[in-house]
A and B are shown apart, each in its own frame.
Chain A
Amino acid sequence: MKKFIIRRLLSFIPVLLGVVTISFMLIRLLPGDPAALMLAKSGASAEQVAALRAELGLDQPLLTQYLQYLGDVVRGDLGVSIWERRPVLTMIAEQLPSTLELAVAALLISIVVGTTLGILSAVYRDSWIDRLSVIVAVLGVSMPMFWSGLLLVLLFGATLRWLPVIGQGSIKHLILPAATMGFACVGTITRTVRSSMVEILQAEYITTARAKGLSSTLVLFRHGMPNALIPVITLVGLQFGWLLGGSVVIETVFSRKGLGDLLVQAILWKDLPVVQGGVLVTAVMYLVINLVIDLLYGILDPRIHYN
């Protein structure tokens, strides 16, 4: 187990080196000169733009810039935002908790609703509840979040006045954005739980349990559910990454702070250090979450061993 973890952690190094290199190159491949962008509002002359470019160190050869950046990253220094002139790490640390809060809340909602619907539609196959879950799944997956988010704003905010529509800081502020995001994930989880549950309910150990005379509730919860939930863990790992990426839409609609908007704005306005730092931090999170999920398999599924 320990060896497995160490091996996995070591494998992070080449992955992260790749991430750093690719993000460094990609953002520079996009058209647009950061110095000119920064001076766009003052209609600066070509000469003034060149002076700022030199001040930012962007007139240096690419390789020099890359090696400099690599050296800084190894020392844990992600640089300074060229727009805000604040340390990138501070800016990310400021925004990350809000995005994590939203992602976790959305995941919780989607897991609770998704597994409940999934199990019900497996148990009562082809009933109205099964059909309802298909509708929910299709709507959730196909409705764009900015649209479903706006519908919720109009219904619960503008019309019913139950919930605040912008900002954050309380559970009340979290409900609408988390529900919007959670709803988008419910479909996948419902369908996955349903199909694995259908399979499990036909497994021999379920028949055995029933033959022993156990109540159907007990069979379902003690023998069926734990096994049906294993694929959900895999999904959670995948969706967490999706939620981090999708958070930008929700953050914009609900005026929430967060990493998504920080990164999108940084890409749009070519704030190179913020893009690089943000991509790196997101990659680290993704790697760690996938490691945790792999470890969870070992704990939850006795058939899996890491030796």
Chain B
Amino acid sequence: MARRSGIRNVSALLLCALLAACAAPTPQVVTVQETVVVTTEKVVEVEKVVQQTVEVPLAPAAAPKGGRLVMGTDKFPSGLDPHVNSSWDVMRILVSVYDPLLWQDPETGEILPGLAESWEISNDGLHYTLRLRKDVSFHDGTPFNAEAAKFSLDRILAPETQSQYAKAFLGPTDSIDAVDEYTLRINLKTPSAYLLSGLSQTYVAMVSPAAVEKWGSEYQLHQVGTGPFIMKEYVPKDHVTLTRNEKYSWAPSIFEHQGPAYLEEIEWHFLPEEATRLPALETGDVQLVISLPPIDATRLTTLADFSLLTSRLRVTQPLEFFINTQKPPTDDIRVRQALNYATDQQSILNSVLRGLYLPAHGPLAGTTFEYSDQVEGMYPYDVEKAKALLDDAGWKAGSDGMRFKDGQPLKLLMSSQTWNFIPPIAQTLQGQLRQVGIDVEVEQMTFPAQMTAGAEGTKNVLVNGGNGFTAADALDGYFGSWSADGGFAWSKMKDPDLDKLLVEGAQTLDPEKRKAIYAEAQVRIMEQALIIPIYDYTILVGVNNKVMGLSWDISNVAPLAYDAYIAAD
């Protein structure tokens, strides 16, 4: 795969376009110019966005676009109610069923109108007034208005909903008012930099009040939104079928066309066993499959009828190992820093992930708006430096190279998970740390067991990652002292300066000021060596070349099928 290194950073959108270009078989094709926004290869600076023009051949104009798209996601979701559940499948599947109040431009992150046409923020940042579209109705005919929007947001906030995720996107929301039929006001307790992006999440779905009342606890099997596709059938652990909403005429500007979607039907399957994903794509059981294992991704590139999308996810938390600052010997900052110098990230990425993933350098993924490149180069792979730090901390190497202090061996307890590629990563890391004389005992734990270990501080090194869509999502709950006892801040560092930065950052609406505050926070976290960052999340997607026009949401987690169609034979 010669294009491998180049493909990495290119957005899925460009890939689709390129693939379409490669796949055009007939001589008599109509060629149109299409502008595609491309994210450039990140070198040293923050990513820049450039315009690039690509020729995209389309099928002959006479052929109507349509078809049925079958997609496979990576596990059985435990619950698919957007207001309640937290699985990424909520986004993937339901992004086609619900329209959010606002959209985010998939490339720039700019907030765009959705079901809300316009919005105003009061000077104190505590009141958001949204003017809603007047021409929208739910799939069941219920009109969409401020009452319906208030109903949806109230449902998320109600304690009895036991919202696992959606509530977090509403941040410090205090109350919701339906000012008039098409004006909605959201009142906050404190200012929030992330309310607007929160409102663009599929989790903050606008649900039909009539349908929620009708179905009660079975609502998730009979969901009713305003989106381009209607939920026809959901058989838990089997499949979800969506059909086209013929009345749809309120597509946001991020899409290419208006009116109903092209696809007549979308079907989702769940493929929890990663080894069956590529066979399912090859046999035609699915036309798109999410989360291919790297070894199959490499094989996929040799198959003519399929393409590999290397989607760099815009989730803000990288895969990272949290280092416990309260449990010896990692209570010593020199030991924590030595762990970072002794970690050869690139060799982990090359061996375990076949070079398909990009390294992480700090607590925020490189795709995060507030990411600061100041963290890059803070911990180059440097065995000698690691050894020197350990020597300095009093851990002297014995004859076998393993280190001791006062007769005690330098031993760390590490927890490992079964998900993602964590077992081989943990083992590789264990081997690398051994090189500088650190004995690491890896224990394979269930996630609940690890959470308890993290909260109680019984391990030195614990793994987590893949959470959140904003800087605050990936930092507040994972580094704030309010989460150090009983939450998810497994480094257990109680640092008032860091706390202050985190609180300030989340409340600062000015993007540049916020960036500066969060840059300080990122550097602070790495100076204290609270984590060993490993990689930024990437998902390998296999797709049949007949699938055209598919795009991805801003996080690159959810495929947007509105413009998609299946090419005729």
Residue A55 CB within 8 A of the other chain: yes
Residues of A within 8 A of B236 (CB): 84, 91, 94-95, 257
Residues of B within 8 A of A251 (CB): 237
Residue B302 CB within 8 A of the other chain: no
Q: Which residue of B lies closest to A86 (CB)?
A: B217
Complex alpha-carbon distance, A145 and B434, angstroms = 36
Does B449 contact A85, Cβ atoms closer than 8 Å?
Answer: no
Does A44 contact B487, Cβ atoms closer than 8 Å?
Answer: yes
Residues A42 and B165 in contact in the complex (CB < 8 Å), given A161-B283, A166-B269: yes
Residue B285 CB within 8 A of the other chain: yes
Tell me the chain B residues, 261-292 only, with Cβ under 8 Å from chain A: 269-273, 275-276, 278-280, 282-283, 285-286
Residue B85 CB within 8 A of the other chain: yes
Partner of B451, one of A32, A42, A87, A252: A32
Residues of A within 8 A of B76 (CB): 257, 261, 265
Does B86 contact A42, Cβ atoms closer than 8 Å?
Answer: yes
Residue B485 CB within 8 A of the other chain: yes
Does B447 contact A30, Cβ atoms closer than 8 Å?
Answer: no
Residues of B within 8 A of A52 (CB): 162
Complex alpha-carbon distance, A105 and B256, angstroms = 49
Complex alpha-carbon distance, A157 and B280, angstroms = 8
Complex alpha-carbon distance, A30 and B450, angstroms = 11
Residues of A within 8 A of B391 (CB): none
Q: How large is the interface on A (under 10, 10 to 19, 20 to 34, 35 or more residues)?
A: 35 or more
Partner of A37, one of B159, B271, B448, B476: B448
Shortest CB-to-CB span from B115 to chain A, Å, is: 23
Tell me the chain A residues, 74-108 only, with Cβ under 8 Å from chain B: 80-87, 90-91, 94-95, 98
Shortest CB-to-CB span from A203 to chain B, Å, is: 48
Complex alpha-carbon distance, A218 and B453, angstroms = 67
Complex alpha-carbon distance, A19 and B215, angstroms = 33
Residue A293 CB within 8 A of the other chain: no
Residue B168 CB within 8 A of the other chain: yes
Complex alpha-carbon distance, A153 and B449, angstroms = 34
Residues A87 and B217 in contact in the complex (CB < 8 Å), given A46-B487, A166-B285: yes
Residue B5 CB within 8 A of the other chain: no
Shortest CB-to-CB span from B456 to chain A, Å, is: 9
Shortest CB-to-CB span from A268 to chain B, Å, is: 6
Does A153 contact B482, Cβ atoms closer than 8 Å?
Answer: no
Q: Mark A23-43, 1 if CB is under 8 A from B, else 0.
A: 000000011110011111111
Does A157 contact B279, Cβ atoms closer than 8 Å?
Answer: yes
Tell me the chain A residues, 40-67 only, with Cβ under 8 Å from chain B: 40-47, 49-52, 55-56
Does A32 contact B78, Cβ atoms closer than 8 Å?
Answer: no
Tell me which of B276, B278, B286, B467 has the highest count of chain A C-beta atoms within 10 A of its own C-beta.
Answer: B276
Q: Which residue of B lies closest to A41 (CB)?
A: B86
Does A167 contact B162, Cβ atoms closer than 8 Å?
Answer: no
Residue A165 CB within 8 A of the other chain: yes
Does B473 contact A43, Cβ atoms closer than 8 Å?
Answer: yes
Q: Which residue of A lies closest to B283 (CB)?
A: A157
Q: Mark B155-184, 1 if CB is under 8 A from A, else 0.
A: 000011010110110000000000000000
Does B271 contact A255, Cβ atoms closer than 8 Å?
Answer: yes
Residue A269 CB within 8 A of the other chain: yes
Q: Which residue of B lies closest to A56 (CB)?
A: B162
Residue B537 CB within 8 A of the other chain: no
Residues A43 and B467 in contact in the complex (CB < 8 Å), given A37-B448, A87-B217, A95-B236: yes
Residue A270 CB within 8 A of the other chain: yes
Residue A246 CB within 8 A of the other chain: no
Shortest CB-to-CB span from B461 to chain A, Å, is: 18
Residue B565 CB within 8 A of the other chain: no
Complex alpha-carbon distance, A247 and B504, angstroms = 51
Complex alpha-carbon distance, A41 and B167, angstroms = 11
Residues of B within 8 A of A153 (CB): 275-276, 279
Does B269 contact A167, Cβ atoms closer than 8 Å?
Answer: yes
Residue A150 CB within 8 A of the other chain: yes
Complex alpha-carbon distance, A95 and B237, angstroms = 8
Shortest CB-to-CB span from B202 to chain A, Å, is: 14
Partner of A271, one of B78, B218, B220: B78
Q: Which residue of A lies closest to B88 (CB)?
A: A41
Does A45 contact B448, Cβ atoms closer than 8 Å?
Answer: no
Tell me which of A36, A45, A80 has the highest count of chain B C-beta atoms within 10 A of its own C-beta.
Answer: A45
Does A49 contact B447, Cβ atoms closer than 8 Å?
Answer: no
Partner of A150, one of B165, B271, B276: B276
Tell me the chain A residues, 231-274 only, with Cβ under 8 Å from chain B: 251-258, 261-262, 265, 268-271
Residue A285 CB within 8 A of the other chain: no
Tell me which of A43, A47, A256, A261 has the highest count of chain B C-beta atoms within 10 A of its own C-beta.
Answer: A43
Does A46 contact B485, Cβ atoms closer than 8 Å?
Answer: yes
Does A33 contact B452, Cβ atoms closer than 8 Å?
Answer: yes
Does A43 contact B85, Cβ atoms closer than 8 Å?
Answer: no
Complex alpha-carbon distance, A230 and B79, angstroms = 45
Residue A148 CB within 8 A of the other chain: no
Does A40 contact B217, Cβ atoms closer than 8 Å?
Answer: no
Does A30 contact B81, Cβ atoms closer than 8 Å?
Answer: no
Residue A296 CB within 8 A of the other chain: no
Does B446 contact A43, Cβ atoms closer than 8 Å?
Answer: no
Tell me the chain A residues, 162-184 only, with Cβ under 8 Å from chain B: 164-168
Residues of A within 8 A of B242 (CB): none
Does A168 contact B238, Cβ atoms closer than 8 Å?
Answer: yes
Residue B327 CB within 8 A of the other chain: no
Does B168 contact A165, Cβ atoms closer than 8 Å?
Answer: no
Residues A46 and B483 in contact in the complex (CB < 8 Å), given A261-B76, A262-B237: yes
Residue B235 CB within 8 A of the other chain: yes
Residues of B within 8 A of A87 (CB): 217
Does A40 contact B488, Cβ atoms closer than 8 Å?
Answer: yes
Does B237 contact A47, Cβ atoms closer than 8 Å?
Answer: no
Shortest CB-to-CB span from B146 to chain A, Å, is: 27
Does B85 contact A83, Cβ atoms closer than 8 Å?
Answer: yes
Residue A158 CB within 8 A of the other chain: yes
Does B220 contact A45, Cβ atoms closer than 8 Å?
Answer: no
Residues of B within 8 A of A40 (CB): 86, 447, 451, 467, 488
Q: Mark B234-250, 1 if CB is under 8 A from A, else 0.
A: 01111100000000000
Residues of A within 8 A of B165 (CB): 41-42
Residue A299 CB within 8 A of the other chain: no
Shortest CB-to-CB span from B190 to chain A, Å, is: 14
Residues of A within 8 A of B84 (CB): 84-85
Residue A12 CB within 8 A of the other chain: no
Residue A154 CB within 8 A of the other chain: yes
Does B449 contact A32, Cβ atoms closer than 8 Å?
Answer: yes
Residues A257 and B285 in contact in the complex (CB < 8 Å), given A36-B455, A40-B488, A270-B448: no
Does B239 contact A167, Cβ atoms closer than 8 Å?
Answer: yes
Q: Which residue of B lies closest to A54 (CB)?
A: B159
Does B235 contact A257, Cβ atoms closer than 8 Å?
Answer: yes
Residues of B within 8 A of A158 (CB): 278-279, 282-283
Residue B322 CB within 8 A of the other chain: no
Complex alpha-carbon distance, A50 and B282, angstroms = 47
Which 6 residue pairs spanning A and B have beta carbons closest together? A32-B448, A43-B477, A257-B237, A42-B168, A46-B486, A84-B79
Pairs A–B under 8 Å by Cβ, sample size 18: A32-B447, A40-B447, A43-B473, A45-B477, A50-B486, A83-B78, A83-B85, A84-B78, A85-B162, A94-B236, A150-B273, A164-B283, A164-B285, A165-B276, A167-B239, A251-B237, A255-B270, A255-B280
Please report B residues at the A interface, Cβ cutoff 8 Å: 72, 76, 78-79, 81, 84-86, 159-160, 162, 164-165, 167-168, 217-218, 220, 235-239, 269-273, 275-276, 278-280, 282-283, 285-286, 446-449, 451-453, 455, 467-468, 473-474, 476-478, 480, 482-483, 485-488
Task: List 19 additional contacts besides A31-B448, A262-B237; criterion CB under 8 Å.
Answer: A32-B451, A33-B448, A37-B447, A39-B164, A40-B451, A40-B467, A46-B486, A49-B487, A51-B159, A83-B78, A84-B79, A94-B236, A150-B276, A157-B283, A165-B280, A256-B238, A268-B446, A268-B448, A269-B78
